[in-house]
């Protein structure tokens, strides 16, 4: 039988940019152990059943399926979230949206809206950090709303709720102090749609028209009717869309418009304040 160390040394995933990490995550899952177990017990020999599970997972990964979908969960902020193929996989870049929201608004009670919530990642991260906030997440996909609610219940966050709504459609008359969103922002002809993990993610969560800005235009146009005075709108967008998003925010009457860069140095989110 092969040991953990020999499996780690001999298993190849040539098409993956994070091959070693992928192998470790899949092997740990097959063993039903945390990743730290692999280093603590490198001489351990997995059972035949565990090796079969590991081999099946590797086959799926070699076919390009994202590790998060194979495992059924993904870490985001300080949370471990259930994920599924009908939702976007939460990514580290989106944590900048959470960080900025927390910096902008005080810990005193606030009403917060997360548009296109997916797994509930942004909404639940904010709710976990601000017990006095009331966070609402909406998504037009029924299965996504159910998934976000399962994550909420498992995490025990009673200050968050999830509803079905296509953007603001089901929120008539409701106002918030803070609106955040990681909407679709990829152009329909973007070559990256045929590469890597995004091939397995729902196109409805990725693509927004010819230039990738259709959904952002709609959100920016409608957000002022749902923001209290001095409320903020925060949007994640593509690495090359910041200038266009800032122009949309200014044209809609937002002030204090600016963008923030992610860890890769790209302008990843833009924000503006409703002052009238």
146: left (phi over 0), alpha (psi -120 to 50) or beta: alpha
Structural domains of the chain, count: 2
Name which residue leads in pLDDT, 107 or 250: 250
Are 171 and 45 found together in one domain? no
The domain in which residue 31 lies consists of 4-63
**What percent of the chain clears pLDDT 90, i.e. is strictly above it?**
74
Instruction: Give SS3 for 232.
Output: strand
84: left (phi over 0), alpha (psi -120 to 50) or beta: beta
Q: Which CATH number belongs to the domain containing residue 193 in this structure?
A: 3.40.50.150
**197 within domain boundaries:** yes
Confidence (pLDDT) at 208: 58
Q: Is the pLDDT of residue 194 over 60?
A: no
DSSP state at residue 127: H
Q: Write out pLDDT tens, residues 209-246.
A: 667 788 999 999 999 999 999 999 999 998 889 999 99
Q: Is the pLDDT of residue 200 over 70?
A: no
The pLDDT confidence band at residue 190, using thresholds 50, 70 and 90, is low
Q: Is the pLDDT of residue 161 over 60?
A: yes
Q: How far is CA 25 from CA 17, 31, 32, 57, 69, in A?
A: 14, 10, 10, 10, 12
**Global pTM value:** 0.89
CB-count burial class (<10 Å; 0-12, 13-18, 19+) for 149: middle
Confidence (pLDDT) at 192: 59
Are 109 and 245 found together in one domain? yes
Region 28-45 average pLDDT: 93
Region 145-171 average pLDDT: 97
**69 within domain boundaries:** no
Are 187 and 257 found together in one domain? yes
> What phi and psi, each to the nearest 5 degrees, are found at residue 19?
-60, -50
Are 199 and 83 found together in one domain? yes
DSSP state at residue 11: -
The pLDDT confidence band at residue 205, using thresholds 50, 70 and 90, is low
């Amino acid at each position: 039988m092969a040991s953990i160390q020999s499996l780690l040394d001999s298993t190849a995933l040539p098409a993956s940019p994070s091959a070693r990490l992928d192998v470790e995550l899949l092997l740990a899952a097959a063993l039903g152990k945390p990743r730290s177990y692999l280093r603590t017990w490198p001489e351990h020999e997995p059972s035949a059943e565990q090796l079969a599970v590991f081999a099946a997972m590797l086959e799926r990964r070699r076919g390009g399926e994202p590790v998060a979908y194979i495992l059924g969960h993904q870490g985001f902020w300080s949370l471990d979230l259930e994920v599924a193929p009908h939702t976007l996989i939460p990514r580290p870049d989106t944590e900048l949206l959470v960080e900025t929201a927390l910096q902008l608004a005080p810990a005193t009670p606030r009403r917060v809206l997360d548009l296109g919530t997916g797994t509930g990642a942004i909404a639940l991260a904010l709710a976990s950090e601000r017990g006095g906030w009331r966070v609402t997440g909406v998504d037009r996909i029924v299965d996504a709303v159910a998934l976000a609610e399962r994550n909420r219940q498992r995490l025990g966050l009673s200050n968050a709720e999830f509803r079905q709504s296509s953007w603001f459609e089901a929120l008539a008359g409701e106002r918030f102090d803070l609106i955040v969103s990681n909407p679709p922002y990829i152009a329909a002809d973007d070559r990256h749609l045929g590469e890597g993990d995004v091939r397995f993610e729902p196109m409805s969560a990725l693509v927004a028209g010819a230039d990738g800005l259709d959904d952002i235009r709609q959100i920016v146009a409608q957000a002022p009717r749902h923001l209290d005075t001095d409320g903020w709108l925060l949007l994640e967008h593509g690495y090359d869309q910041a200038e266009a998003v800032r122009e949309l925010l200014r044209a809609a009457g937002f002030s204090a418009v600016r963008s923030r860069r992610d860890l890769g140095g790209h302008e990843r989110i833009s924000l503006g304040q409703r002052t009238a």
